[in-house]
Amino acid sequence: MHREALAGKTAVITGAAGGIGRALCRRFASEGARVYALDRVMPAGDLPSGVTALRCDVTDEAQVTETLARILAQSPALHVLVNAAGIELEKTIEHTTLAEWNLVFGVNVTAMFLVTRAALPGLRQAHGASVINLGSYDGYIADPNLAAYCASKGAVHGLTRAMAVDHGREGIRVNAICPGYIRTPMLEKFFGDGDRARIEAEAARVHPVGRIGTPEDVASLALWLAGDEAGYASGQLWTLDGGLTAQVQQMRVGAP
């Protein structure tokens, strides 16, 4: 008989309307968690039973404080928090305005700070909580024309380590999942409007595993990090990129 890995646990997931956020909601709910799905845009009605959708702009301190207070009033112990809200900006610094820079950092970094800070009372009550942040392989290396995004993901990686160090003795583990190419609307936008079949085939070819990742791949790693089996895992950056960053790209020129 299948044992639900998150049975009896409460989880909050931000960015729940996105490709990865939806997959997280579905997977966590299927594993028995009571899930609160947060997004500025309400997730569509295809979320499964056990998921409560709440409208929340996670860059707004007042909204975050109010929303987390509502959740903790219903579920005082918060076992899992996944900070999955994120946006991308395809520009160099030369063409990035200050407002755009602040928006990227607001969604990708400041929101993570605001939500986790507001969730701390519930995380402490869980006596063994897991915070999972969405970083990126672009926090280690850089794709062209993603300056603000790369900088923000580097900040996520640093914040993840800092929170793990500061709150580990309170029974709170903090890790980051750092995806590579994951098949989401964000990736579709990044691919652009060219020869889609050729672009996707080339993207798959440069991955040692021979394919682009899926939101379900991210949800599988998140499920492990959220559960008791990962009880000694904290302060780490878990790269999930099909081996992409394990290779020296220029050595693959002309490879079959």
Query: Which residues are part of the catalytic machinery?
Result: 149
Residue 209, CA atoms < 13 Å, CB-side half-sphere: 14
Residues with Cβ < 8 Å from 50, sequence gap 6 or more?
Answer: 29, 32, 33, 34, 35
